[in-house]
Structure formats: C-alpha cells, structure tokens
Chains A and B, each alone.
Chain A
Amino acid sequence: MSILSENAPARRRRITTESAIKAFFGSNALVAIVVLALITIFLFRDGFGFFGQNLANLRLYRRAGLEYVDIIRTQAQTHAALSRQLGDIRMQESRTLPSGSTLEAFDQFSAAFSDSGEFLNALVSDANDQALALREVLIAAGSASAVSSAEAQPSETAKPTAPVDPRAAMIALRTADEKFAKIAEGMKGKIDNLLAAPPVLSSPKARQSFEKWKKKTRDYVAQFPVVSQRLRQWNANEPVPAYRAITAFLFGRDWVTASFWQDWYGIIPLLVGSIMVAAVALLLAVPLGVCSAIYVSEVAARGEKSLIKPYIEFISAIPSVVLGFFGIAVVGQAVRALSQMPFMKWVPFFPISERLNVFTAGSLLALMAVPTIFTLAEDALRNVPRGFKEASYALGANRLQTIARVLVPASLSGIISAVLLGLGRVIGETMVVLLCAGNRIAIPDFTQGLGAFFQPVHTMTGIIAQEMGEVVRGSIHYRALFMVGLVLFALTLGINYLAQRLVARYRMSIG
C-alpha cells in the first residue's frame, strides 16, 4: 500500500519521464521504418514505370519496321560470322604449313564467300536507313514518347528532310521482301558453287573445322526460304502484347542503351555476370572461410587462435575500393601473366587476353566474403555442444572423423547460413566488380567452357553505379536501372530471408 500512497506530483513526474523515454526511442525506430518504407516505395514506383515505357519502346520497334530490318540483319551477321570463321581456319592451316607454300586456293575461296554477301549487306544498309527515317516520322507524330533523350537528340538534328507519309515509307521498306528473296537465291547459287569445289586443306585440325564450317554454311543456306517466309508474314501493325515488356526485361539477352538503332533492356547479361562473379567468389571463399573456421575452432592452439581470428576479421576493414585497386594492379595482372607462361599451356582456355574478368573480380570478392563466412561459421562450430565432440572422441574417433561426422553436420545449418550471408554480401558488392569485372555487357561465351570465367562481364551493381549518374531522370534507361536495382533487392532479400530461417532452425537444434 505504501507504494501507491505516494503523492500525486511525483507520480505524474515519473509518468512524463517514462513517456519521454518511450517517445525518444520510439521516434528513432519510427524514423528508421519510415525511411525504409519511403525508399522501398520510391524504388518500386520508379522501377515499375519502366514496364510502360519499355512496352512503348517495343511497339515503336515493330511499327517503325526495325524488327523487320533486324530479321534481315541477322542473316547478314550470320554470313559475316561464317566469313570470320574462315579466317580462323586459315590461321590453323597456316600454322602447320611449311613456309613458302601458299594458301591461294583457300584465300580465293574465302574472298568469294565473303563477296557473296555483298548484296545482302547493301540491302540491310538501305533498309536500315529507311526504318530509321520511318521511326523519326513516327516519333515526330508523337506516337512514342518513350525514347530515351540520348537518342531523341540526334534524330532531331538529322531531320531536315520533308515529312514522309508513314504508310508509304512502310510500303517502301517492305519491298525488301522481294529483294531479299532474290538476293538469297543468288547467294544460294554462289555458295553452292563454292561448296561444290572446296579448297584442299593439309592440316587435320583445319580440315575438321572446315568440315564443321561447311555443315554450318549448308544449314545457313537451307534456312533462307524460311526467312523469306518470315519476312513476308511480318506485320507492322500486329500488336505487341503487354507481357512482352516484362519478359523482354527478365529474359532479354541484350543491354543496349543510347543506341542509334534500338535500345534493349534485358537483364540476363547483367544477371549472368553477377551470378558468375558470385559463383567464383563463393567457390573460393567457402572452403577458405569454412576450413579456417574449422581450424580455429578445432585444431588451432590458443596462441594461434588469438592471432588468426582477428587477422581474418581484419580483412573486412579493408575498403572495397582499395581491394578493387589491388585487384586491377596485382591479381588481374598476375593471373594474365601466369596464363601466358609456357608451362600453363595445357589449360585449354589459356592464355587469357583480358586482365579484368570474372575470375579477377570473383577472387577479390572472395576475400571480402571470407571474414563474413569465417566469423559466422566459427560461431556455429563453437556453439556445437562440447558433449558431441567428447562423445565422438570417447568412441575412438580421430579428429578428422569428429570434424567431418559430428561437428560439421551439427553446425551445418549455421554454416549454410554463413555461406548465404556471404553470398548476400558478394551479390550486393559494387566497387570491386565495377573496377575488376571488365564491364563488358555481354553474356560470356560458354562454348569455351571454363574459359567463360576469364571473360569480362558487367554486373547488376556495377551497371547501376556506372550509368545512374548519367541518365536523364524519368527516362526509360533511368527506370530500367531502377528495375535492375529491384531485382538485386529481391535477390538479396531472398538470400537473407533464407539465411535467417536457417539460423532460426539451427538455434532450435542446438538448444
């Protein structure tokens, strides 16, 4: 009773103090939550605007006939690629050839092949101009506002020509239907003639590649009628379904911006780049992190422990830009130099030409992920009840058996969540990949096998950091970068969620 019988003012004072404390801490939490919510809303609002603009972008691509021209262009490009391959075959052949002897027959053959595409290239170039002119007309007519300012500018300056009737322009463009069929016919004749009298090659390797090439060329010629058919059936007024705006982003294999032709915002090359870099980083960081955690928690003497642990944790104090710098100056250089050493010749994809590539970026990111993985894995291992370890030793297990059969399984979910958090760190890291990944926006050539990991890529984080500063606010490019950010956000959120669920499970199993 004595507690309650205090005087009223004191009680009131206490209540106000308490509510002040409550307000102070509460408001801090509130600010954090509000800011986070605002960021998320902002991200989503600007991100989702992308799809509308992308749809308009894709519709214009069709209505202006760019899509049509690209069908023809693909043919010309395939032809050019085949020509290039002939060059490669020539290289193989000349390497084995004794000096002095000539490759005249082969050179003639490849020159003839190259020439056979002459008319096709001319057609592409004409159609290209026509389609661009048509697009300008359409843009001027206000049909599409969704062209990034970067490309809207040149179109304004290059437009003193009199306005053309879009319909007439389209009819003019479509004459390419007939032209293509005719040109294809001619090419088929020429190439067939060439294939009928192929040059003789001496080197077995070159011969093999040449056989492959011939098969490809035959296939190429054989598909001309199909292409003609496609061209004829192509319809500029066919509507572009709305879902294309999303699929073109999620599954698009090109990221082309500020182009005079068509902008593409496909996330695949960036996603592939990010995933490859992360894969390399994890592949290196997981064994390093987990094994050093095992060493520190199970094998090391106390003195070593007190040295190794802070040392590894110290790595995370290195600023990422410094690591990136180190990557360019040391790691990239060293890996390339190593790949050029004669004794490394047995590796099929060596020597590598790019200093900055997936591997360089991945190995530095691994360095950043090691402290995260190490610290959390070490915690998990240390939290395995001592009884498990003792029971195992008491049954006559040696140290390796105890580690492999008892300690690691018992702490597995903790170790997995450590790896996942390391992955989250790696996926979200920007500076190192921007500096070291080479920043070429292209899906690496996986036909090279593991060599793909020594090619430059661009990443989701890198592209945002690189391009966000230059884009016009509100343009499709700007919003596309926001969408990339959203994908990244979703990815890291998913990874963290998974990690937390595992941690929760792991706590239960230990308790």
Chain B
Amino acid sequence: MVSLVEMPQAMPQQLSRQNDRRADEVNGAEIMIDVRDLDFAYGANKVLHDVTLDIPPQAVTAFIGPSGCGKTTLLRCINRMNDLIEGARITRGAIHLGGVDINAPEVDVVDLRRRVGMVFQKSNPFPKSIYENISYGLRIAGINKRSQIDEAVEKSLRGAALWDEVKDRLDEGALGLSGGQQQRLCIARALAVEPDVVLMDEPCSALDPIATAKIEELIQELKMQYTIVIVTHNMQQAGRVSDHTGFFYLGKLIEFGPTTKIFTNPSERRTEDYITGRFG
C-alpha cells in the first residue's frame, strides 16, 4: 500500500509531464493536485464534465460558480468524501495528489484524508470539549501521548488564531463557542493532523462579516504552509483571498487562471457575465 503520508510533498518535474498548456497559467511552478479529464456522476446524474486543472502548492485556489455547478463535488473528490455517498463515482479521468492517483486501489483512503483536511460549510464541531475536538484526529491516528497532544492542540489552535480566545476553557463544550469561533475550531481541528492540503467548502457562508474577515485573514496566513482549496459563493471573497480561481458552470470548468486575470480580464464571456453579476 502506498502511504501518502510519507510521499514527497510534490514532485514537480515528474508531474508536469502533460502540463504544457496549463503550466503558464499556473505560473509554471509546482503542482500539488492535478485533476485530469474528470467526469463525475451521482448515479445516472452526471455532474462534472471533463474537468482538468492543476492546483499549485502553498497557494489559495478558489472555485466559484453558481449553485449546483459541481464545485463542491470536485472539492469532495479531492479527499474522496464522495465515497460516503452511495452511487457517487468518478466515471472518467483521475486526480493525482503529489503524483499519486488518489483513487488507485492501493491508496489508503484514511491516509489520504489525513493528508487532505476539510472544513465544511456548516461548522460541525463534535459535541465534545474544545480540547477533545482538536485531539480527535490525533487519537484516531493512534497518538496517545498527552504531551504530544497538548502541544498539537496549542499549535493548531494558534494556527487557527483561536488560542487566545479559548486557552482558559479548553475543557468546555465546543458547542458553547460562537459561530465564527466554531468554524475556526473546525479549521484548527483539520490542522491538528498536519495535512498538506486544506479543503474549505464555503467556510464563511454562515458567518457574519467580522467573523468572515477573521477567517479570510487566517486563510492568508495558512497559505504559507498549506495548499488551500476554497469553494465560495462570494466573489469578493474569492477575489480577496485566492491566488488562482476556477469558474465552474453546469459541471464544466469554464476558466481557470490567476485570480487577478479572471477578475480583471477573463477570456471567457460567461466568466465575465458571472463576475459582473449578469447571472448567477
């Protein structure tokens, strides 16, 4: 079984094999996640058509598009969360993470998910204490040393800019936190297992503007260390936080490129229409 955890972070040379067309669009350099010719269906209902894109490491990549365009589905393909949905499957194409096909039979999905963390639209802390929420991922990975867990809890809470707010009440229930704090707790929880990639599925859609601003600020800090893929409905948000943006429409990737280009000078008409609010 190929352990994804021990894989080299990225293997740019090897991976850029068929990338000549995309390479310039993502500034040439390394590629973390490589989505190639992906078709995806829920039963008979095909929701992604021929999606191809490269996500660079240590940057924020945003997926935008109207509801039902498949951006969340693509996001959930990256850590194989769609495995949990009966009848959902990739019908064509592949996703490579650091050069390894994540759907290959020898890939352990548990390892994959440990390496690709996820933050959900609705904050979903477990009905446990703050401390237990963060330590959960470590414990299920078999780490039981108290000092190690303590350290990881503090580190990830600091990483999620939550430490100062909760350090005195780590043993209190996580459900007592405010909505924004809960979402940052979920981010901290995802960070605690030290993933390479953090997927965020509309992480701010249920939050007020102040909490949203905090999360966005956090995303900016996190991209120093992590590869972040964020799905958002909020185009201003995509513009503010992301380095690269993909615009999806009806299950197709219409345009993918540096955020500044997508927002100022899109090459596709539909992108421009969506961004300027003509539809969506």
A398 to B186 CA separation, bound complex (whole angstroms): 19
Contact in complex: B126, A410 (CB < 8 Å)? yes
Q: Which residues of B contact A397 (CB under 8 A)?
A: 110, 136-137, 140
A385 to B182 CA separation, bound complex (whole angstroms): 15
Within 8 A of A (CB), among B8-50: none
A467 to B249 CA separation, bound complex (whole angstroms): 77
Return A37 CB to nearest CB of chain B, in Å: 40
Q: Which residues of A contact B79 (CB under 8 A)?
A: 394
Return B198 CB to nearest CB of chain A, in Å: 10
Contact in complex: B126, A406 (CB < 8 Å)? yes
A228 to B195 CA separation, bound complex (whole angstroms): 84
Contact in complex: A396, B110 (CB < 8 Å)? yes
Contact in complex: B113, A391 (CB < 8 Å)? no
Q: Which residues of B contact A409 (CB under 8 A)?
A: 127-128
Q: Which residues of A contact B127 (CB under 8 A)?
A: 388, 409-410, 509
Supposing A385-B124, A405-B136 touch, asked if A395 and B114 sit within 8 A by C-beta, the answer is yes
Write the chain B residue with the least CB distance to A386.
B124
Q: Which residues of B contact A302 (CB under 8 A)?
A: 86
Return A393 CB to nearest CB of chain B, in Å: 6
Mask, A372-413, CB within 8 Å of B = 1, is 000000000000010111111111111001000110011000
Contact in complex: B136, A387 (CB < 8 Å)? no
A390 to B121 CA separation, bound complex (whole angstroms): 11
Q: Which residues of A contact B140 (CB under 8 A)?
A: 392, 395-398, 401, 405
Q: Does A171 contact B (CB under 8 A)?
A: no
A301 to B114 CA separation, bound complex (whole angstroms): 26
Q: Does B53 contact A (CB under 8 A)?
A: no
Q: Does B189 contact A (CB under 8 A)?
A: yes
Supposing A395-B113, A396-B137, A401-B140 touch, asked if A388 and B124 sit within 8 A by C-beta, the answer is yes
Q: Does B118 contact A (CB under 8 A)?
A: yes
Q: Does B231 contact A (CB under 8 A)?
A: no
Contact in complex: A395, B81 (CB < 8 Å)? no
Write the chain B residue with the least CB distance to A400.
B140
A302 to B87 CA separation, bound complex (whole angstroms): 10
Contact in complex: B126, A393 (CB < 8 Å)? no
Q: Which residues of A contact B216 (CB under 8 A)?
A: none
Contact in complex: A393, B86 (CB < 8 Å)? no
Among A392, A409, A509, chain B packs the most CB atoms within 10 A around the CB of: A392
Q: Does B193 contact A (CB under 8 A)?
A: yes
Q: Does B263 contact A (CB under 8 A)?
A: no
Contact in complex: A393, B113 (CB < 8 Å)? yes
Contact in complex: B126, A388 (CB < 8 Å)? yes
Contact in complex: B124, A393 (CB < 8 Å)? no
Write the chain B residue with the least CB distance to A509.
B127
Mask, B115-146, CB within 8 Å of A = 1, is 00110101011111000000011011100000
Within 8 A of A (CB), among B63-94: 79, 81, 84, 86
Contact in complex: B120, A391 (CB < 8 Å)? yes
Q: Which residues of B contact A393 (CB under 8 A)?
A: 81, 84, 113
Return B88 CB to nearest CB of chain A, in Å: 13
Write the chain A residue with the least CB distance to B84.
A393
A387 to B193 CA separation, bound complex (whole angstroms): 19
Within 8 A of A (CB), among B141-163: 141
Mask, A187-229, CB within 8 Å of B = 1, is 0000000000000000000000000000000000000000000
Q: Does B196 contact A (CB under 8 A)?
A: no
A387 to B175 CA separation, bound complex (whole angstroms): 13
Q: Does B202 contact A (CB under 8 A)?
A: no
A391 to B126 CA separation, bound complex (whole angstroms): 8
A394 to B84 CA separation, bound complex (whole angstroms): 11
A-B contact list, 21 entries, CB within 8 Å: A302-B86, A387-B122, A387-B124, A388-B124, A389-B84, A390-B81, A390-B84, A390-B124, A391-B124, A394-B118, A394-B120, A394-B190, A395-B113, A395-B189, A396-B113, A396-B140, A396-B141, A396-B193, A401-B140, A405-B139, A410-B127
* Chain A residues near B (Cβ < 8 Å): 301-302, 385, 387-398, 401, 405-406, 409-410, 509
Extra A-B contacts (15), CB below 8 Å, given A388-B127, A397-B136, A405-B140: A301-B86, A302-B86, A390-B118, A391-B120, A391-B126, A392-B140, A393-B81, A393-B84, A395-B117, A395-B140, A396-B137, A398-B140, A405-B139, A409-B127, A410-B126
* Chain B residues near A (Cβ < 8 Å): 79, 81, 84, 86, 110-111, 113-114, 117-118, 120, 122, 124-128, 136-137, 139-141, 186, 189-190, 193
